[in-house]
Amino acid sequence: MSNPSILILPGDGIGPEVMAEVAKIIDWFGAKRGKTFDVSEDLVGGAAYDVHGTPLHDDTMERAQNVDAVLLGAVGGPKYDSLDFSVKPERGLLRLRKEMDLFANLRPAQCFDALADFSSLKKDVVAGLDIMIVRELTSGIYFGEPRGIIHEGNERVGINTQRYTESEIARVARSAFELARKRSNRVCSMEKANVMESGVLWREVVTEVHQAEYADVELSHMYADAGAMQLCRWPKQFDVIVTDNLFGDMLSDAAAMLTGSLGMLPSASLGAPMANGRPKALYEPVHGSAPDIAGQGKANPIACILSFAMALRYSFDLGEDATRVEKAVEKVLADGLRTADLLGEEGVTPVTTGEMGDAIVTALDASL
Ligand code: IPM
Ligand code: MG
């Protein structure tokens, strides 16, 4: 059998730097675990725009459709702010999500013990936190039509449309229930059924899927604004949260911060199974391209490395190796190593992006 294939799209800002650390981990698996991946690399976002005049070349799209997993760094930067909307770096990422039909975006928020003091919330609120946000990723207001800026009388009107079909809601609900069964068996669904028809339908369909197929899972519902408040008040009440594209975008940034830094949070975007049984998949850190710190060795590579761990688990059926990577991250944090985003406590050791990657590789060696 041929090696599993990975397409790396480092993107912009700190993307290439954090991806360079992931490459070290991938190499480690080849050298030390006999798990070799066929890795290729291409451009996305501003980096692709600079070369091709588009944030995602058709050839790159085609390659992404034909690999076992895509690993993406980050896209965007001030250099591209004034570009037309249709060629902004973010459009490249959105096109990948849409055309690969990656409808289930898994965003775990886990608080490592070593960082519990670092959160802006009290330690007992976040210590041991382990929740999973499942964000719908291919529909809703991100993609709904009509959209645009139109002229009406003597002023401009900005329009976006929140739109969800039953089947779009049902399939992401199933993803959330399936995950919950492997965790603490609880799902909280968040919408704004008090003000939005799409929220009313969301609640109805999640409830129907639950009753028909997942009655063994505990299901609750919350308005998304109240959910945001509860995430800050007592996040450990949640296990799996399932929500739409826009609410999921915001709630996952809030949840990420509970864990101390946005630099810690990985994500997996999964679609339907391919012919080989693996899901269509793209893995990326939740953080953005952080252009202000790019190229200075300040970026935290952990979110991107943990995204690769998610690839091991969800694409390559290597759950034990995924745990091995997660434990290695835990170890270097427990040893006090901190990239720039995590400095502030007494007695920690500041490290660069590259030093953090090297330390994780060393911890992997020690795990054998
Ligand atoms: C995210 C990001 C993206 C989004 C941007 C970069 C398009 O914020 O993945 O959370 O809004 O989905
Ligand atoms: Mg976001």
- Cβ count within 10 A of residue 218: 14
What pLDDT, in 10s, does the model give residues 168-198?
A: 999 999 999 999 999 999 999 999 999 999 9
Task: Output the CA 12–ligand 1 centroid distance in Å.
Answer: 14
Task: Output the CA 124–ligand 1 centroid distance in Å.
Answer: 30
Q: What is the pLDDT of residue 244?
A: 98
pLDDT for residue 2 is more than 90:
no
Task: Output the CA 249–ligand 1 centroid distance in Å.
Answer: 7
Q: What is the pLDDT of residue 10?
A: 98
Q: Which residue's C-alpha comes closest to atom 9 of ligand 1? A: 286
Percent of the chain with pLDDT over 90: 91
pLDDT for residue 366 is more than 80:
yes
Residue limits of CATH 3.40.50 in the chain: 119-136+165-259
Query: Mean pLDDT lowest for which of 109-123, 223-237, 317-331?
Result: 109-123
Q: Are 121 and 258 in contact (CB under 8 A)?
A: yes
Closest ligand 1 atom, residue 90 Cα: 7
pLDDT for residue 207 is more than 90:
yes
The CATH architecture of the domain made up of 1-110+261-368 is: 3-Layer(aba) Sandwich (3.40)
SS (H, E, C) 193-210: CCCCHHHHHHHHHHHHHH
Counting other chains too, the contacts that 219-223 makes at CB distance below 8 Å and 24 or more residues apart are 219/186, 219/187, 219/188, 219/189, 220/186, 220/187, 220/188, 220/189, 221/188, 221/189, 221/190, 221/191, 221/193, 222/188, 222/189, 222/190, 223/190, 223/191, 223/192, 223/193, 223/194
How far is residue 144's CA from residue 246's CA, in Å, rounded to a whole number?
12
What pLDDT, in 10s, does the model give residues 74-110?
A: 999 999 999 998 999 999 999 999 999 999 999 999 9
Task: Output the CA 1–ligand 2 centroid distance in Å.
Answer: 37
State if residue 335 touches ligand 1 by the CB under 6 angstroms criterion.
no
Catalytic residue selected from 12, 68, 249, 341: 249
pLDDT for residue 204 is more than 80:
yes
Task: Output the CA 139–ligand 1 centroid distance in Å.
Answer: 13
If one residue of 160, 249, 251, 287 were mutated to test the ligand 1 pocket, choosing by the most ligand atoms within 8 A of its CB, it would be 249
At 212, is the pLDDT very low, low, confident or very high (cuts 50, 70, 90)? very high
Residue limits of CATH 3.40.718.10 in the chain: 1-110+261-368
Q: What is the pLDDT of residue 232?
A: 94
Name the one residue in this structure whose structure tokens are 């745990």.
Answer: 323
Compute the average pLDDT of residues 222-242.
97
State if residue 64 touches ligand 1 by the CB under 6 angstroms criterion.
no
Q: What is the pLDDT of residue 344?
A: 82
What pLDDT, in 10s, does the model give residues 304-315?
A: 999 999 999 999
Look up 253 and say whether it is catalytic. yes
Q: What is the pLDDT of residue 117?
A: 85
Catalytic residue selected from 117, 225, 317, 365: 225
At 257, is the pLDDT very low, low, confident or very high (cuts 50, 70, 90)? confident
Look up 236 and say whether it is catalytic. no
Catalytic residue selected from 49, 164, 192, 214: 192
User: What is the torsion angle, in degrees rounded to the nearest 10, for the CA atoms of residue 32, residue 36, residue 41 and residue 45?
Assistant: -80
State if residue 141 touches ligand 1 by the CB under 6 angstroms criterion.
no
pLDDT for residue 1 is more than 80:
no
At 316, is the pLDDT very low, low, confident or very high (cuts 50, 70, 90)? very high
Look up 244 and say whether it is catalytic. no
Query: Mean pLDDT lowest for which of 114-123, 159-168, 247-256, 324-333?
Result: 114-123
At 323, is the pLDDT very low, low, confident or very high (cuts 50, 70, 90)? very high
State if residue 250 touches ligand 1 by the CB under 6 angstroms criterion.
no
Ligand nearest to the CA of 285: 1
Ligand nearest to the CA of 90: 1
Q: Cis peptide leading into 146, omega within 30 of 0? A: yes
119-136+165-259: CATH, from 3.40.50, 2.60.40, 1.10.3210, 1.25.40: 3.40.50
Q: Which residue's C-alpha comes closest to atom 12 of ligand 1? A: 249
Q: Which residue's C-alpha comes closest to atom 4 of ligand 1? A: 249
- Give the mean pLDDT of the chain: 96
Predicted TM-score (pTM) of this structure: 0.95
At 113, is the pLDDT very low, low, confident or very high (cuts 50, 70, 90)? confident
Q: Which residue's C-alpha comes closest to atom 10 of ligand 1? A: 249
Compute the average pLDDT of residues 284-289.
93
